[in-house]
Structure 1
Amino acid sequence: MGQKAIGTMAIGNLPKTAAIRYGDREALVCTSTGRRFTFRQLNDRINRLANGLMDQGLKKGDTAAFLCTNRAEIVEIYFALAKIGVLGIPLNYRLAPAEMIEMMKECEAKTFLFDTPFFEVAKKVKADLPAITLFVGMGDCPDFAVKYEELLARSSTDEPAVEVFEEDYQYYNLTSGTTDLPKSYLLTHYNNAGTVFVLSQAMYLTGDDVILTVFPMFGRVGFAWTAAAIYNGAKNVIHNFNPPQVLELIGKEKVTITNWVPTMAIFILAVPDLEKYDLKSLRGIVYAGSALPPNIYEETIQRLCPNVYEYYGLQETSALVAMGPEEKKRKPQSVGLPLFFGEVRIVDPQGRDVPVGEVGEIIGRHPATTAGYYKNEEKTKETFRDGWFHTGDLGRFDDEGFLYISGRTKDMIVSGGQNVFAVEVENLLLTHPAIADCAVIGLPHDTWVEMVTAVAVKAAGAEASDDDIIQYCKEKIAGFKVPKRIIWIDAIPRTATGKAQKFILVEQYSKNDVQVDRPGRLAAAGRINIPPPLPCASGQGRGLPLIDGHSQPGKKEEAMENEKVLLQKQGKIVTVTMNRPPIMNAFDMEMCFGLIGAFERIALDREAGVVILTGAGGNFCSGADMNLLTEDLTADEYLKDVMQVLSRLIRTMRELPQPIISKVRGVAYGVGLNIALAGDFVLTSHDARLSQIFVNIGAMLDGGGTYFLPRLVGSAKARELALLGEEIDGQTAASIGLVYKSVPDEKLETETDNLSRKLLSKPSAAVALIKRSLEGSLDMTLDQVLEWEAAHQSIMLKSTELKGAVHQFLKLRGKAAA
């Protein structure tokens, strides 16, 4: 065997060399903070952080955890730790704080760096993990932490004097989120250098590219694209995923290539007036993470970009095969050809290669493949056999060497690009006293590809609602693992040896169409045009731009779109809160998207009976954020788009089966007032301030104002309110019939609670149908109304709710007569 080369492929060399080669070319665009950095500036900041951490006592071989969104600092942290030989733990912010703390404990972390949304997590880490002795926080962080920018300001830009080798470990990759870390593994500098070469080769990257990174950078894919951008001298725009913003950034930054999971594409393709966005700069869209549905591929090439790339691999292996646009057009069902220095085989259960065209297990290896799992010898032995990584996926080769995926041998659900292991969820469900038996399956879903579904058998005499079970799970595991539906049956089909026959359940319930939480089912268009609800991880309702759509364990509030909309559910009452108190909850597009998502979600919640819509901080909503009316947003085409989304919100509220109580205190101006009027009952405090302010700024009423006003107060009063734009208080609004009732401020909560309980006491089916009939009757003649009432009354007369009410009435009358 020859001697090892004297050079080394240490990842810290990338920004150092890029600073020399590319200098003052733009390297990084941080969209969340609006900052831009050249390659030289980026390397200087990386060096400052590296030297600052060493000044704080961190040294080669130590471990540092970091919890950060897609922003410039996460790039700096990765490479600063790499330069000084400190192992990193990039934490998945979709996990519960308890899961994060367990990981840090297992990996023996001594330092914790954290982003602004995670101050509460940092406080919990400090309280529960004394081994963490150094905290570094971004922004106005807690007093116990060193301020990130202050640390950089006082530190040197010199290259750290630490020798790091390619065989040294760079960071842990954490894929499963379970507390015993069954899927945690270490990646060396050599592994990650291999990934850089894989991406550069497969995607034909050059210094002329502008890369848009929307994959969360706590994962291997997000980091790989960032490292590849630095290696190639390409500008990298890092962004927290938000569909309309992604489309705007492509045009603004002239993005040439971006990597998505198919679920991201579903939301992108559903953005209204998609054709108005400038996507001409795109030379390719890359898909990975889960199977690319044929319809999404077709829509992508027709509506977004004609060139689609795809690759296949696991987090542990990096990409093993890939294909470019021409190959994809020729063989759209394939995932590609093997990459240089990578090897892929299809084998039978004995590990023997199967003939071309036959299905077997996919096994592979590459210089980017990890060598094993951390502190999990059993898992390592099971997966790494005879020098090959056994993926657990089934596939086949065609006669040209193209790989096709046929299914999975592992009992795993891929939901929105996230891996959910059914056995973990099953084990948790079986700890609930109401569940005697269960099986967790993935059902087909238009948006998430697979929907986590629990099929369960109730224990004898037990009582539990779907919401009880879902909440129980939310308190103990990450939101993306929580079942979205509970299906109760008498018995789980099992083999003679006791194994659940899940294929029977999948077949049965796929046909029965239990996937009722398909986005956009309320819309006339039939497709959703909003970004998904967002999870919280901080404990303070702070939202992050992810595509999970479920709250973190133990959190009552669920933030949507950067915390601008909050949900809180207590029993059957759901409170939706507009949450921008510093500017009196001024209405913008992100809030609009969040509200639509909230009401769409509530409509699908069988346990939700009443909705309360309110504002945070003592005001309802001050109207449109004036930033919506700045010069670059006044083009007719864009305003038309804004109005379409607002119209979608109003229609969604009016079509909601549950009654909405608009609880108004403080200011309700303009569109804020009209959103309140879209509810079924408007309760105000006496001193609430209401105004159709539009005319005062030279604007037209929107949000349904010209529909609601004459119907509520008559034509003459409507003209007064709309044409004068004067402010009235809550008492006046109640006296003219604009709102349901006005009460003293101190009684508003009690009055809202009383009204909610009255509504909950009514049969929900009747409430929903009466809402619908009142709304529709405004456009009907009397004969049409009578016909509609007769047809639907005949249906209601057969309902169990009506029969029960009649039975109870007759029973009480009989007692009275006696």
Structure 2
Amino acid sequence: MASIRDHLQTLSDTFGAMRVLQRAGALDFKKPREVVKAVKRNETVGAPAAIVMHGADEYPDAPALTDERGTLTFAELDQQSNALANELLAAGVAPGSVIGVLARDHRGLITALNGAGRAGLRLAMMNTGFGQTQFTEVAAREKIAAMLYDEEFADIVDGLPTGLPRYLSWVDGQRPVPEGVKVLDDVVTNGDTSTPPEPESWAGLVILTSGTTGLPKGAQRGKVSPFTSALLLDRIPIPERGTMVIVSPVFHSTGFALWGVGTALGNKSVLMRRFDAEKTLAAIADNRADMLVAVPTMLHRMVALGPDVIKKYDLSSLKIIVIAGSALSPTLSEAVQDAFGDVLYNLYGSTEVAVASVATPSELRQAPGTVGRAPVSSHLALFDDKDQRITENGVRGRLFVKNGAPFEGYTDGRQKQVIDGYMSTGDMARFDESGLMFIEGRDDDMIVSGGENVYPLEVENLLAEHPHVADVAVVGVEDDEFGTRLRAFIVRSEGADPQIEDLKQHVKTNLARYKVPRDVVFVDDLPRNPTGKLVRRLLPTGPLT
């Protein structure tokens, strides 16, 4: 009986996704030959390459991307991707091999995404925050057979085996090009731009997890259904043939997914190698951008510019801001919409489960900080510590997700826990009486202090409301009396001088006494990875001096 129910749910999800894709303009089911062509390309060269190939067919002269070196049309990006694919094959990189890319957001990274698929190679997108040791370990684990990297990361890739084909994906001109290393610009300018032989099947993609608790794991995907786009398009009205400014890293799942779906709709992507709050405002204004893709810490810095700076730029074209990657505090949720209008969409998901839920602007006004509701084909469930389903509103539980974006396991062979087809996210969550979901923190972040359970995110969100607090992190540290006590790390607001007792009283007034941090430490900045996630293991938990 369960299999019949699952089959009916799959049919319902498929038809629901088809309606969303038709409505959004992503697929036209009145033209079945085009749909079949898109599906076949997806299966052989992968979604990134198929998307650009479609754009080159349909609107070759339309802009595909803009970076600090100018604009590439869909036809130009298509030809350059072919040139890279042919170069890799000529260099002896066998189809099915894994190549790596360590690059910031620019044309080189997008060319690598496309060229790898066309050559039948699996691409591992490396984190620009890597140190040399971490990079070398991940590269060895993923069995990298060729490497593309930006010049600034030359020292990091030094540990790769001698003789491995290497390509500079971006050249700043700060150092000579090493002997035996080719420059991607030369490859795409002088190389063979003809369409390479079509692979039998897409070799897949490896997107690394955030690595906030240790060495980043490789989440592999060898199949991406075109219907996966519906997870985004169902709740986010991504425009057609518009412009997106993407400052969230494309090497991570959010930036990658929004780039892919937006490009499939013919949008131009404006990419920036390094985030700068005011330059992002300028990019939106100069390009008349419809959409911004960012992470919460970036929006925090944009809001902190203040109304006098923000109003210098014409942001009237901006209709959508999509954020993901780390928790959105209620305070920041309200501040963003007050500054830029009701245009904020809070996307919740992960590298493993893809898109789980999305909060719309009206939902964020109703319940600031919520992650909203599940889009079409996504299904959410809470389970307790005994793996029993939780159905009551307001009860915290472990969040599990089931949707149409299959996760094939980590490249080291490990898997996430699965219950009744639902995969663990590693997060705690609850639903309110109207069905909106709230993330309560990581299930392994829970602190037991004096026999009471405390989730740091609740305390962090409350402290973030204090006008003298610009950023905050709360962790547990050992305590002889209570077992564990709370320690808060506070980044002061500009010009503010908060007093420790005032901050403690702020928590005591709003939460139970055992949730008041015993320690308050002022710091200049908090350790966050490129997607804005707090790296708690880098915060000092030893005795205070």
* Range class of TM-score, shorter chain: 0.7 to 0.9
CA deviation vs aligned residue, 1:679-719 (integer Å, no higher than 9, x gap):
xxxxxxxxxxxxxxxxxxxxxxxxxxxxxxxxxxxxxxxxx
Larger Rg: 1
Match of 1:165 among 171, 176, 201: 201
Report matched runs for 1:212-611 at 5 Å.
Answer: 212-239=245-272, 240-272=274-306, 273=308, 274-357=310-393, 358-377=395-414, 380=415, 383-398=417-432, 400-411=434-445, 444=460, 446=464, 450-451=472-473, 455=477, 491=480, 493-494=482-483, 501=484, 505-506=485-486, 509-510=487-488, 515=490, 517-521=491-495
Question: What do the CA deviations read for 1:630-667 (whole angstroms, capped 9, x no partner)?
Answer: xxxxxxxxxxxxxxxxxxxxxxxxxxxxxxxxxxxxxx
The answer on whether the counterparts of 1:242 and 1:545 sit within 8 Å (CA) in structure 2 is no
**1:22 paired residue number:** 59
* Partner residue, 1:117: 152
In structure 2, distance between residues paired with 1:290 and 1:174: 13
One-letter code of the match for 1:297? Answer: S
Alignment-mate amino acid for residue 360 of structure 1:
G
Q: Who is 1:133 aligned against?
A: 164
- 8 Å Cα contact 1:52-1:154 kept in structure 2: no
Query: Residue 235 of structure 1 aligns to which amino acid in structure 2?
Result: K
Secondary structure at the residue paired with 1:361? strand
- State the Cα distance separating 1:304 from its structure 2 match: 1.5
| Alignment CA distance shift 1:548-1:245 (3 Å) | farther
The 1:147/1:287 distance shift into structure 2, 3 A limit, reads closer
Asked if the contact 1:49–1:76 (Cα under 8 Å) also holds between the matched residues in 2, the reply is yes
| Cα separation, partners in 2 of 1:194 and 1:143, compared to 1, 3 Å | farther
Preserved contact between residue 29 and residue 37 of structure 1 (Cα < 8 Å): yes
Quote how far apart the aligned CAs of 1:58 are.
1.5
Going from structure 1 to structure 2, the CA distance change for 1:49 and 1:184 (only over 3 Å counts) comes to: same
Question: How far apart are the structure 2 equivalents of 1:309 and 1:170?
Answer: 26
> Aligned equivalents of 2:181 and 2:526: distance in 1?
27
SS of structure 1 residue aligned to 2:390:
coil
Q: Do 1:47 and 1:159's aligned partners in 2 also have CA atoms closer than 8 Å?
A: yes
**Whole-Å separation in 1 of the counterparts to 2:340 and 2:531:** 21
Equivalent pair of 1:170/1:187 in contact (CA under 8 Å): yes
Secondary structure at 2:66 match in 1: strand
Map Cα deviations across residues 740-778 of structure 1 (whole Å, 9 max, x no partner).
Answer: xxxxxxxxxxxxxxxxxxxxxxxxxxxxxxxxxxxxxxx
Length, aligned pairs only? 450
Q: 1:372 to 1:120 in 2, by over 3 A?
A: same
CA gap of 1:189–1:37, structure 2 versus 1, over 3 A, is farther
Distance across 1 between alignment mates of 2:432 and 2:422: 21
Say whether residues 1:108 and 2:133 are aligned partners.
Answer: no
**Which residue identity is paired with 1:518?**
R
- Tell me which residue corresponds to 1:197: 230
Residue 410 of structure 1: CA displacement? 2.0
The CA deviation at 1:315 is 1.8
What CA distance in whole angstroms lies between the structure 2 residues aligned with 1:316 and 1:450?
27
1:76, distance to aligned residue in structure 2 (A): 0.7
How big is each residue's C-alpha offset from its partner over 1:578-604, in whole Å with a ceiling of 9 and x where there is no partner? xxxxxxxxxxxxxxxxxxxxxxxxxxx
What does the per-residue CA deviation read over 1:10-55, in whole Å, with 9 as the maximum and x for residues that have no partner? 312111111111221111011xx33101111111111111111111
Q: 2: CA distance between counterparts of 1:406 and 1:68?
A: 33
Query: Is this contact kept in 1: 2:292–2:321, CA < 8 A?
Result: yes
Alpha-carbon distance in 2 for matches of 1:546, 1:322: 18
Shift in Å at residue 294 of structure 1? Answer: 2.1
Counterpart amino acid of 1:199? L
Deviation (angstroms), 1:251: 0.7
- Per-residue deviation, residues 529-568 of structure 1 (Å, max 9, x unmatched): xxx9899xxxxxxxx9986999xx9xxxxxxxxxxxxxxx
Alpha-carbon distance in structure 1 between the residues aligned to 2:423 and 2:434: 23
Aligned to 1:92: 127
The offset of 1:178, in angstroms, is 6.9
* Structure 1 position 355, deviation (Å): 2.4
Change (3 A) 1:269 1:120: same
User: In structure 2, do the counterparts of structure 1 residues 326 and 451 end up closer, same or farther at CA, with 3 Å as the change threshold?
Assistant: closer
SS of aligned partner of 1:65: strand
- Distance in 2 between the 1:120 and 1:339 partners? 43
Question: Which one-letter code corresponds to 1:21 in the other structure?
Answer: E
Cα separation, partners in 2 of 1:80 and 1:252, compared to 1, 3 Å: same
**Corresponding residue for residue 696 of structure 1:** none
Name the SS of the counterpart of 1:303 in structure 2.
helix
SS of residue in 1 equivalent to 2:473: strand
Relative distance call for 1:534 and 1:20 in structure 2 (3 A) is farther
Matched-pair contact (CA < 8 Å) for 1:258–1:284 = yes
Cα shift at 1:523 = 9.2
| Cα drift, residue 101 of structure 1 | 0.5
**Deviation at residue 70 of structure 1 after TM alignment:** 1.1
Could you tell me whether the CA contact under 8 Å between 1:85 and 1:170 is conserved in 2? no
Does the C-alpha gap of structure 1 residues 404 and 441 become closer, same or farther in structure 2, counting only changes over 3 Å?
Answer: closer
Q: Kindly report the root-mean-square deviation, in angstroms, between the aligned alpha carbons of the 2 structures.
A: 3.4
Letter in 1 for 2:267: A
Q: Which 4+ residue blocks in structure 1 deviate beyond 6 angstroms?
A: 440-443, 532-535, 544-550
In the TM superposition, what is the alpha-carbon distance from 1:341 to its structure 2 partner?
1.5
- Quick one: distance in 2 between partners of 1:215 and 1:40? 25
1:453: Cα distance to partner?
A: 5.7
Structure 2 residues not aligned, in runs of 5+ = 1-6, 8-35, 448-454, 499-523, 539-543
Asked if the contact 2:223/2:406 (under 8 Å) is kept, the reply is no
Could you tell me the TM-score, scaled by structure 1's length? 0.51
In structure 1, C-alpha distance between the alignment counterparts of 2:137 and 2:103, rounded to whole Å: 18
Q: CA deviation at 1:522?
A: 6.3
SS in 1 for 2:427: strand
The CA distance in 1 between the partners of 2:239 and 2:365, in whole Å, is: 23
Q: 1:160 to 1:178 in 2, by over 3 A?
A: farther
Does the 8 Å CA contact 1:46/1:77 hold for their aligned counterparts? yes
Which amino acid is 2:86 matched to?
N
1:110 is paired with a residue of what secondary structure?
strand
Indicate how the Cα distance of structure 1 residues 68 and 246 shifts in structure 2: closer, same or farther if over 3 A, else same.
Answer: same
Amino acid at match of 1:350: K
> Among the aligned pairs, what percent are the same residue?
22
Q: Aligned pair 1:209/2:242, yes or no?
A: yes
Cα pair distance change 1:523/1:547, threshold 3 Å: farther
Aligned partners of 2:298 and 2:233: how far apart in 1? 23
- Could you tell me which runs of 5 or more consecutive residues in structure 1 were left unpaired when the two chains were aligned: 414-439, 457-489, 495-500, 525-531, 536-543, 554-605, 608-818
| 2-structure distance, mates of 1:111, 1:23 | 30
Moved more, 73-82 or 112-121: 112-121
